[in-house]
């Protein structure tokens, strides 16, 4: 699973190879200026080649719990049902509960 990393413009100037290394490892990177996102570096992988950048970005951000599945579907420019199918085919869980959250859900059902 990739982990999104944020870089300031200064970080990018001082460590330019790190964003490339992260992309090679499948990690999404966000570059910020004065704390405001300026652009996103998306790994150029099979998903990006097969499905396009919009889908690759949406899948990665959804997998990282950065955005909801509805927002991800909009970014991917797909109907929600199609995006859910895409995520399922990639074996990304639609519900990703921690053990604590799962216990709370089970307790609530009982």
Q: Express each pLDDT in 80-98 by its tens digit.
A: 999 999 999 989 888 777 7
Q: Where are the beta strands (DSSP E) in 1-110?
A: 5-8, 29-33, 36-41
User: Are 54 and 94 in a shared domain?
Assistant: yes
List strands edge to edge, sheet with 5-8.
5-8, 29-33, 36-41
pLDDT digits (tens, 9 = 90+) for 23-68: 778 777 888 888 887 887 777 777 777 788 888 888 888 888 888 8
Are residues 68 and 87 in contact, defined by beta-carbon separation less than 8 angstroms?
no
Model confidence at 1, pLDDT cuts 50, 70, 90, reads: very low
CA distances from 97 to 91, 93, 94, 100 (A): 15, 9, 10, 8
User: Are 60 and 29 in a shared domain?
Assistant: no
User: Are 62 and 101 in a shared domain?
Assistant: yes
Are residues 37 and 31 in contact, defined by beta-carbon separation less than 8 angstroms?
yes
Residue 102 pLDDT exceeds 60: yes
7: containing domain? 1-43
pLDDT for residue 70: 93
pLDDT for residue 86: 93
User: Are 103 and 87 in a shared domain?
Assistant: yes
**For the domain that residue 4 is a member of, what is the CATH number?**
3.40.1620.10
- Average of pLDDT values for 13-32? 82
Going by C-beta distance under 8 Å and a sequence separation of 6 or more, which residues neighbour residue 88?
94
User: Are 91 and 107 in a shared domain?
Assistant: yes
């Amino acid at each position: 699973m990739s982990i999104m990393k944020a870089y300031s413009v200064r970080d990018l100037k001082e460590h330019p190879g790190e964003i490339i290394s992260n992309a090679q490892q499948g990690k999404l990177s966000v570059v910020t200026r004065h704390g405001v996102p300026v652009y996103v570096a998306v790994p150029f992988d099979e998903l990006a080649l097969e499905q396009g950048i919009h889908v690759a970005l949406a899948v990665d951000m959804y997998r990282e719990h950065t955005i909801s599945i509805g927002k991800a579907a909009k970014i991917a420019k797909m109907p929600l049902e199609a995006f859910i199918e895409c995520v399922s085919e990639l074996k990304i869980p639609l519900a990703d509960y921690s053990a604590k959250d799962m216990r709370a859900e089970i307790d609530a059902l009982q």
